[in-house]
Amino acid sequence: MGKVSKSPWLLHYDASSCNGCDIEVLDCLTPKYDIERFGIINTGDPFQADILLITGGVNSQTERVVKQLYSQMPEPKVVVAVGICACTGGVFKECYNIRGGIDTVIPVDVYVPGCAARPEAIIDGVVKALAVLDEKQAVMKTPEEKER
Amino acid sequence: MDKIRAFTLAGRMLKNLFRRPATTQYPFEPADYPERMRGHVRIEIGDCISCGLCMRSCPSGAIVVDRKAGTWTIDRFDCVQCGSCVTACPKKCLFMEKGYTEPDGVKKSETFVKPQEEPAGKTKKTG
Amino acid sequence: MVKVIFVLAYLIFAPFVGALLDGVDRIISARMQRRKGPKLLQPFYDLGKLFSKERIGVNNVQLFLNMSYLVILMIAGSMLFAGADLLMVLFILSTADMFLIMAASSDSSPYSNMGSSREMLQMMAYEPLTLLVAVGFYLTTGSFLVSDIIREDISAVLWMPGLLAGFMFTTAIKFRKSPFDLSTSHHAHQEMVKGLTTEMSGTTLAIMNIAEYYEMVLLLGIFFLFFVNSTWWSWIVALLLCAVIFFLETLWDNVSARVKWKTLLYSCWVVTLVAGGVNILILMLDK
Amino acid sequence: MIPFLIGIPAVLAVVFQIVRNEKIRGYIVYAGAGAIMAMTVVFIADWIGGGAKTWMFYPRTETIDHLMTAGDIFLMCLIVWLSVRYKRVLPMILSILQTVLVLYVEFTAEVTEGPHMMVDWLTILMCIIIAFIGGFICIYTVGYMKGYHQHHKDVKDRQPFFFSMLFLFLAAMFGLVLSQNLIWIYFFWEITSVISFLMIGYTRAEEAVGNSFCALWMNLLGGLGFAIAIVLMALGQESLQLTEVVSTGALLPLMCLSLAGLTKSAQLPFSTWLLGAMVAPTPSSALLHSATMVKAGVYLLIRISPALSGNLVGLIVSSIGGLTFIMASMMAIAQNDAKKVLAFSTISNLGLIVACSGIGVEETVWAAIFLMMFHAVSKSMLFQSVGATENTLGSRDIEDMHGLIIRVPRLAYIMGIGIAGMYLAPFGMLISKWVALKAFVDSGNVVLVLCIAYGSATTMFYWTKWLSKLLCRHIPRDTVKDVTRKDEYLSMLFHACVMLLMCLLLPLVARWLVNPIVRQLFGNSKDVLSMSVLATMAIMLVSIFVVPVAMFFISRRSHTELVPIYMNGINEGDNRFFTNSYGEKEHLYLSNWYLRFEFGRRHLRIPSIIIAAAVLVIGICLVIGGVSW
Amino acid sequence: MAKRSIVPFGPQHPVLPEPIHLDLVLEDETVVGAVPSIGYVHRGLETLVKKKDFKQYVYIAERICGICSCGHGLGYCMAVENVMGIDVPERAQYLRVIWVEMSRIHSHLLWLGLLADALGFESLFMESWRVREKILDMFDETTGGRIIHSVNQVGGVQKDMDSSMLKHLLETIKDIERDIKPLVDTFLKDYTVQSRLKGTGILKKDDAILLGAVGPMLRASGVEYDVRMLGYGAYKNLSMEPVTCTDGDSYGRCVVRIKELFQSFDLIREAIGKIPEGDIHVPVKGNPSGEYFLRIEQPRGEAIYYVKGNGTKFLDRFRLRTPTTSNIPPLVETLKGCQLADVPVLILTIDPCISCTER
Amino acid sequence: MEEKNDIREINARQFFPAIVKMRTEKWRLVQICATSVEGGCEMSYSFCRGYDMRTYRFVAYGDEEVASITQIYPCAFLQENEAKELFGVNITHIKPDYKDKLYRIEEETPFKEKE
Ligand code: SF4
Ligand code: SF4
Ligand code: SF4
Ligand code: SF4
Ligand code: SF4
Ligand code: SF4
Ligand code: SF4
Ligand code: SF4
């Protein structure tokens, strides 16, 4: 395990979801699922986050917010799209104000399906994301070393 | 009104300290789900008549039925597990079952081909 | 020589002890909440992670101000462990805090600025009591010097129980624990987002955390002074009591809501006046 | 020598009335200030060369006495005339009353002759402060007044008058600190009152006139106290020597002198005048706050402090000082006008000094002197930089100094050093506080201990928020042109250097300057702090000094990727705007805390004045009662 | 005059349940002005009635929000049933009430947790949510989903609860009741909690009516108005009284919700006691034509469903006026003059749900 | 309990007096619903008093100006802004007026019948 994956901190943003997935994300913090077991802290601050958990399909207003938050996170960072809405837009994809999945705005590393995504699924997704995080960190390090 | 108290929760906190945590062991131990869990849709492809009712009833358009090719495709990352298709299917060949679709780095869909040409096949396609 | 050893021990081990305590604290909190909680070494993993992250910031000075905060805190701590003047230690401690405030308000970011305003307020709230604690030690032992205080025959706490209680009260501010975690909080959901540390990430945040560990040990060191006396066993007792105090702070964190700033300020000042002032008055009349 | 010290500035004051050319006047100011400083240096060198003993001068001075009498009468007439013109009764009555009292003493009372002037370490210190800080303020004024009149077109340009007053002030201050005879001191004392009155009224605006009269009557009240003290001394002790007041320790004269000291140093309940004085051009504030006026008050109190130790008067003085310290610092929190903050901070700091001298033991006086020194330097510096900032930005609101470090970095640094000097370790103010606290504890005064504990917390609050506003690296919307002139910078830089040097050389200053003063005042040779303590302290402090610098260079080496600040994800381009609820760009604005509803002047002023007045009145009654018993 | 700070609050803010934005004007930390902005979760799902037929739309309605999912399904179905004149079997009506009251319990526990969280009372949050987990498990068992239940359909319910489930439900409720006792004590009596809740965000009775507050917000201001009293569904057979409180402050709203929690326990017990055997749904023929305004009481207050059919299987118009829409104006009113630290608490005391507000 | 739920059609001129009357009779504004109809938009304003509900309804044709009721019922601002933005109903003098930026959608008046 790399350094990052031992202490991944989350940033959760609701990009126009129905709350279903959000409360399940929050539920992961609570005693039954307690993702702090993995060293995960739910921080509200993009500057300190490693994993961006997004729920809901993106609409015209949240698009900017999502991009902004993503840009304020330091590398290495991964994006996890939680819920069908975040994956594809789900039942709302035909709405006039929905862009579709999160991947229409920023690159997504892990998709967690489910409506609402179950806490177990979210945990699985985060665990998957950790692997991606480690990979990214490895990539981040190598070019630097080559330069020297 | 009631008396105001301080440290109201202290007793509970101290007791909790010596209780077993309510935390499940997931993912190190598998979770068990109730019978009715709407986890994912399974198709008994052999019984399917490609009528397309499920496709039309699906609120998120996750199912594509191709009558000519005899295929039944579900986009797992589009299915909201509502069970509408299960109710709609006249042949009752769709089932809502336990267990959810694994999270993944790419969005997958699954295609089932009717077993006339070849035996019940499951081909995975990514999309 | 002993002094040098103490100072070196402090400089080297304080972050480790602090991080361990933090780990213990997190586990205890988790267990109180019927959660399993993180691993004991989680704070170390966090630090490791933070140092390995890409360095981003909103300006170029925050890092340097944060480092100054850390080093000045270290100086304050070293002075305490070198047996120097307690009052001076406290003054330098507040100077260190000043750097933290400047770091936080080094850019016009709304949340870290509001956080730093609150931090100033918190300083205003706890400062009187910390000064009185030093005065209390002076009155009981006749010296501000830590090296003299630990050589007393009777533990200072016997003379200054009020000050101890008051200090425990205000230390929640320093430990950034509920009900007094206004300026920045270890809990995720705070109206200040992350307050002071909103714009700190990676290394900068790691420095901040390390500084907090130093500070934690420093404060526990002051608690230690309350209990210690010239006998050897008092050291062990004092260590145990420090652990108890730490536990009580954790417990308090878990049984109270975060208060508003007015409650914070006024309650701290009143506690200072009642617990601290009365205690000092009695000491003065007595001596 | 001494006549020169007083004479040069006095003569220059006259010269400015004649010279009307701005350039030439500027050069004369430079030369004059230079001369004063040079004279002081020579004088001190001479004195130290002479063994640094206490010198007593001029036991018989018939003519000068008569001149002074004439001067007193002239001042009275001036006040009466101005009072009539502006229809104020109180100053008139006070002035006449005290002049009559003094004249009465002068012509009727039989007093033992004694030296009229004295030079000792305290005098020397005061001379240095007056000459150098005062001198540089004069230099600063040359540049400042140009900018001032460009900004305030509505104010009539009366610069010659202003410079006259500045130099006259310095002359009076020299006279005051060098005098030893109470009547002499009284004369100079009155001059300072009147000049400050004239300077406050410089703009002749309604508010300015009102405030100047406020200052006048309050100071005259103190003067009355002084006059009564003279009468009492003359009748009771048959001596007019300041040293006699101290050595006999009669309570009533002490009380009266303390009253004079308290009014002059703007302690509660008399602090109003100093706040009102803010309407004057900044150099006069600088002068009033740092080198002159208020220092006259604390000088007097420090002088008599050995006699205050442990008696009722001392208790009153120290209580009022303590109260002032904490109340003024609380009120400072609610201010956003930089000069108001400085004014409150002056009052509060003087409160601490007064409290120290009220306790009147070696340590406290040691602390008081240190506080006075640091206060003089940093206050003067702060006032000057605020003045320069005001000329540059067109505002002296602290809120408008947001990001000054980017806009006018040089001024920001100077102001920053000044602020740091007021309350941060490693600067001396803090060390003095340390000593003061220790001394208060030793003297067993629990109320003062509490005052200092709370007061330093509140002090910290308002300085910190100012400092952080200043140092915020916020790119402003509009750039400003720094219109600060060279002479202004010269003065400010000088102060900054002195400030830093004093911190670095703190142990030496303590040993060579402050310890002797204390020794002379108390007549023994106990060091307040042992050298080793001071030395270790200094090492610690210097290392703290070094840390930020070192860290600065270390952090320079690392590369940081710059990103926008956190604004809940709705930044609008740069760091100044966010999208508001109507979907438009909104200017982010961050204001400091002022706690107006908690610490506002409106809430605190009246109660604190009442308390202070009550303490004073009851105290005086007790003292009088005590005498009649 | 000190200047006032103008800062953004939200949409991305950890203390906010959902992306809502406020422009805050602060003096020190006192809020002197607040302008709300919504639209961060606006999807436009009301237009979907033109694309999904009225039976399919139940699934969309359920996803208006994940917290009142059950209620939205119910409200929509009842509105359509009213337009079409369908009589829903008794058993189905009882089942609906049971599920809806379960989600009220779920929602109020969730709210209590979030409130504790906004107060910085982490352990209380954890405890509340730990208890809530039991009701979620119950949902999982009876409906097959923790959050989105998919039980309502036009004409009845999709799933039945057998007697073992009902028994389990009773046990669970008993469990929860026992577990939340100390938590309720803390919410209502703890000093630190009270220092945050008492006297903040006072909404007077007249203001509450004028500004159109609904649900617990309205009842906490002393107005007796609970749409369940209309007796829709099985409520007509159950005994209940609206819970009110006269304080009108945050504390009052907390009291109301806690009492409603216990009211829900009783309602479920009574419903389980009275539930008749029988069908759970009736077949639906034809298409809706006509219109109807339907009111139901959601955990957050009265919601209004408007359905207008035109005789085809696609509806002309579906509109939902949610409780939060009505509660935002009173919220803005209560925000004025509060402290910054109160902002999240006040936002929470209306139990905001932006998701359904913006649809 | 029997619920009263009546819908009363009025014309645009009667509209404002009717609203004022509701206010004086202390009815609570519960909802404003816009529905696109031929050539315009049907506006329904519902009020509650006790458990009774009454809805006033009129049709605003084309660009016809509809006065905002925020002067009478300040809480109407959200729903009026919404009707304006999504249906293109020309409601004037809303306080506060979000100027069609409440939802900041990209499509203009998505609910309006388009020819
Ligand atoms: S899921 Fe998160 S953001 Fe959404 S309502 Fe719950 S706590 Fe708030
Ligand atoms: S996936 Fe389902 S539960 Fe999650 S946000 Fe979308 S509709 Fe809600
Ligand atoms: S369960 Fe629902 S969403 Fe999934 S395929 Fe069936 S109808 Fe579509
Ligand atoms: S409804 Fe059933 S039979 Fe028809 S296509 Fe779908 S799965 Fe096949
Ligand atoms: S692929 Fe996913 S949905 Fe399909 S059977 Fe496996 S787990 Fe179920
Ligand atoms: S940009 Fe705005 S906040 Fe910054 S200095 Fe200019 S006016 Fe002040
Ligand atoms: S309020 Fe109604 S719709 Fe919402 S969860 Fe509760 S019962 Fe379901
Ligand atoms: S009120 Fe809230 S919880 Fe209920 S449906 Fe609306 S958004 Fe969801």
- The structure tokens 């640091």 sit at D374
User: Are C264 and E120 a contacting pair, CB within 8 Å?
Assistant: no
Contact A90 E48 (CB under 8 A): no
Counting every residue written for chain C, the total comes to: 287
Letter for the amino acid at D321? Answer: G
Res D628: pLDDT: 43
Q: How far is E280 from chain F (nearest CA, A)?
A: 25
Q: Which ligand 4 atom is the nearest neighbour of the CA of B63?
A: 6
Task: Tell me the residue range of the domain where B83 lies.
Answer: 33-126
The residues of chain C scoring below 70 in pLDDT are: 188-189, 287
Percent of the residues in chain D that have a pLDDT greater than 70, as a whole number = 91
Report how far Cα F16 is from the mean position of its chain's Cα atoms: 11
A60 part of contact set with chain D, CB < 8 Å? no
Q: Which ligand 6 atom is the nearest neighbour of the CA of D475?
A: 4
User: Are D159 and D22 a contacting pair, CB within 8 Å?
Assistant: yes
Question: Is B20 inside any structural domain?
Answer: no
Gap between the Cα atoms of A91 and B58, Å rounded: 9
CATH class, domain E4-357, is mainly alpha
User: Are C150 and C160 a contacting pair, CB within 8 Å?
Assistant: no
**Facing residue for C32 by CB, picked from B7, B13, B22:** B13
Gap between the Cα atoms of D302 and D121, Å rounded: 12
Q: Is D263 helix (H, G, I), strand (E, B) or coil?
A: helix
Contact E123 C189 (CB under 8 A): no
Res C101: pLDDT: 87
Structure tokens at D80: 């009466």
Structure tokens at D498: 């002195």
Contact A96 F104 (CB under 8 A): no
Say which CATH architecture domain F5-92 belongs to: 2-Layer Sandwich (3.30)
Record the pTM.
Answer: 0.86
Structure tokens at A46: 């993009």
| B1 — pLDDT class (breaks 50, 70, 90) | very low
The residues facing D56 across adjacent strands are D118
Q: Name the nearest CA neighbour of D325 among D160, D454, D211.
A: D454
Question: Closest-lying ligand to the alpha carbon of A11?
Answer: 1
Contact C98 D467 (CB under 8 A): yes
Percent of the residues in chain F that have a pLDDT greater than 90, as a whole number = 0
What is the chain D residue with the closest CA to A47? D566
- Delimit the domains of chain F by residue range: 5-92
Closest C-alpha to ligand 7, atom 5:
E68
C-alpha dist (Å) from residue D32 to D134, D498, D556, F35: 11, 21, 46, 87
State the DSSP string of E84-146. Answer: HTPPPPHHHHHHHHHHHHHHHHHHHHHHHHHHHHHTT-HHHHHHHHHHHHHHHHHHHHHHS-S
Q: How far is E343 from chain D (nearest CA, A)?
A: 15
Q: Give the tens place of pLDDT for each residue, D539-549.
A: 666 777 777 77
| D528 — pLDDT class (breaks 50, 70, 90) | low
Question: Nearest 5 degrees, angle CA D466-CA D470-CA D476?
Answer: 135
Question: Closest-lying ligand to the alpha carbon of E99?
Answer: 7
Q: Give the tens place of pLDDT for each residue, B106-117.
A: 888 888 887 765
Percent of the residues in chain D that have a pLDDT greater than 90, as a whole number = 0
CA B94 / ligand 4 centre spacing (Å): 7
Res A2: pLDDT: 66
Res D59: pLDDT: 61
Mean per-residue pLDDT, D160-169: 83
Pick the residue with more confidence: D597 or A16?
A16
The residues facing E303 across adjacent strands are E296
Mean per-residue pLDDT, D497-516: 78
The residues facing A78 across adjacent strands are A51
- Residues in D closer than 8 angstroms to F104, CB to CB, are 583
Res B120: pLDDT: 46
Res D627: pLDDT: 55
Contact B59 A91 (CB under 8 A): yes
User: Are C56 and A49 a contacting pair, CB within 8 Å?
Assistant: no
Beta strand residue intervals within chain C, DSSP E: 56-57
What is the average pLDDT value for chain D, to the nearest integer? Answer: 79
Gap between the Cα atoms of D79 and D97, Å rounded: 12
| Contact exists between E and D (3 or more beta carbon pairs < 8 Å) | yes
* Whole-complex ipTM: 0.84
- Residue F18, Cβ neighbours under 10 Å: how many? 17
Gap between the Cα atoms of D289 and D279, Å rounded: 13
E120 part of contact set with chain B, CB < 8 Å? no
Mean per-residue pLDDT, B88-116: 82
Res D476: pLDDT: 66
**Facing residue for D555 by CB, picked from C63, C75, C123:** C63
Q: Give the tens place of pLDDT for each residue, C179-211.
A: 888 877 777 667 777 778 888 888 888 888 899
Gap between the Cα atoms of D37 and E317, Å rounded: 90
Percent of the residues in chain B that have a pLDDT greater than 90, as a whole number = 0
Contact B16 C251 (CB under 8 A): no
What is the average pLDDT value for chain E, to the nearest integer? Answer: 83
User: Are E221 and E251 a contacting pair, CB within 8 Å?
Assistant: no
> What is the count of structural domains for chain B?
1
User: Are D206 and D221 a contacting pair, CB within 8 Å?
Assistant: no
Mutational pocket test of ligand 4: of B42, B85, B91, the residue with most ligand atoms within 8 Å of the beta carbon: B91
Percent of the residues in chain E that have a pLDDT greater than 90, as a whole number = 0
Interface test with B, best of E112, E186, E249 (most B CBs within 10 A): E186
State the DSSP string of B76-101. Answer: TTT-----HHHHH-TT--EEEESS-P
Query: Could you tell me the mean pLDDT of each successive run of 10 residues in chain A, 148 residues long?
Result: 76 82 85 85 84 84 83 85 84 78 86 84 87 82 52
Question: Is B1 inside any structural domain?
Answer: no
| Contact exists between B and F (3 or more beta carbon pairs < 8 Å) | no
Q: Which helix (H) or strand (E) holds D228?
A: helix D206-232
Question: Nearest 5 degrees, angle CA D312-CA D318-CA D322?
Answer: 145
User: Are E25 and E33 a contacting pair, CB within 8 Å?
Assistant: yes
DSSP B120: S
Q: Name the nearest CA neighbour of D455 among D353, D322, D341, D344.
A: D322
User: Are D592 and E2 a contacting pair, CB within 8 Å?
Assistant: yes
D176 pLDDT more than 60: yes
Question: Is B98 inside any structural domain?
Answer: yes
Q: Give the tens place of pLDDT for each residue, D381-395.
A: 888 888 888 888 877
E1 pLDDT more than 60: no
Beta-carbon contacts of C246 under 8 Å, excluding residues fewer than 6 positions away, are C21, C25, C220
- Residues in C closer than 8 angstroms to A35, CB to CB, are none
CATH code for the domain of B73: 3.30.70.3270
Beta-carbon contacts of F26 under 8 Å, excluding residues fewer than 6 positions away, are E209, F49
Q: Name the nearest CA neighbour of E65 among E339, E300, E229, E255.
A: E300
What is the chain A residue with the closest CA to B32? A120
Pairing of strands B63-66, E317-321: unpaired
- Counted across chains C and E, CB pairs separated by less than 8 A come out at 89
Q: Name the nearest CA neighbour of D364 among D426, D420, D308.
A: D308
A15 part of contact set with chain D, CB < 8 Å? no
Question: Is B113 inside any structural domain?
Answer: yes
D583 part of contact set with chain F, CB < 8 Å? yes
**Facing residue for D474 by CB, picked from C107, C199, C276:** C107
D151 pLDDT more than 80: no
Radius of gyration from C-alpha coordinates of chain B: 23
The residues in F 3-62 lying below 8 A from E, measured between CB atoms, are 3, 5, 7, 26, 28-33, 35-36, 44, 46, 48, 50-51, 53, 55
User: Are C34 and E182 a contacting pair, CB within 8 Å?
Assistant: no
Q: Which ligand 1 atom is the nearest neighbour of the CA of E110?
A: 6
E120 part of contact set with chain C, CB < 8 Å? yes
Determine the angle formed by the axes of helices E90-118 and E342-349, rounding to 10 degrees.
170
User: Are E36 and D620 a contacting pair, CB within 8 Å?
Assistant: no
Letter for the amino acid at D261? Answer: G
Structure tokens at B32: 């068990």
Q: Is D32 helix (H, G, I), strand (E, B) or coil?
A: helix
F114 part of contact set with chain A, CB < 8 Å? no
- Residues in B closer than 8 angstroms to C34, CB to CB, are 16, 19, 21-23
Task: Tell me the residue range of the domain where A15 lies.
Answer: 3-147
Q: Name the range with the highest mean pLDDT among C162-176, D507-521, F44-58.
A: C162-176
- Residues in A closer than 8 angstroms to E13, CB to CB, are 44
User: Are D317 and D301 a contacting pair, CB within 8 Å?
Assistant: yes
Interface test with A, best of C26, C28, C45 (most A CBs within 10 A): C45
- Delimit the domains of chain D by residue range: 1-59+114-180, 61-112+185-264, 310-558
| D532 — pLDDT class (breaks 50, 70, 90) | low
Q: Name the nearest CA neighbour of C107 among D576, E291, D418, F107.
A: D576
C271 part of contact set with chain E, CB < 8 Å? no
Q: Is E295 helix (H, G, I), strand (E, B) or coil?
A: strand
Contact A18 E65 (CB under 8 A): yes
Closest C-alpha to ligand 8, atom 4:
E68
Beta-carbon contacts of F74 under 8 Å, excluding residues fewer than 6 positions away, are E210, E211, E329, F95
Structure tokens at E267: 């309602």
Interface test with F, best of A62, A94, A97 (most F CBs within 10 A): A97
E184 pLDDT more than 50: yes
At D426, give phi and psi (nearest 5°).
Answer: -90, 15
**Facing residue for B22 by CB, picked from C32, C34, C254:** C34
Mean per-residue pLDDT, D462-481: 78
Determine the angle formed by the axes of helices D2-18 and D159-178, rounding to 10 degrees.
170
A138 part of contact set with chain C, CB < 8 Å? no
Question: Is B6 inside any structural domain?
Answer: no
F101 part of contact set with chain D, CB < 8 Å? yes
What is the chain B residue with the closest CA to E124? B9
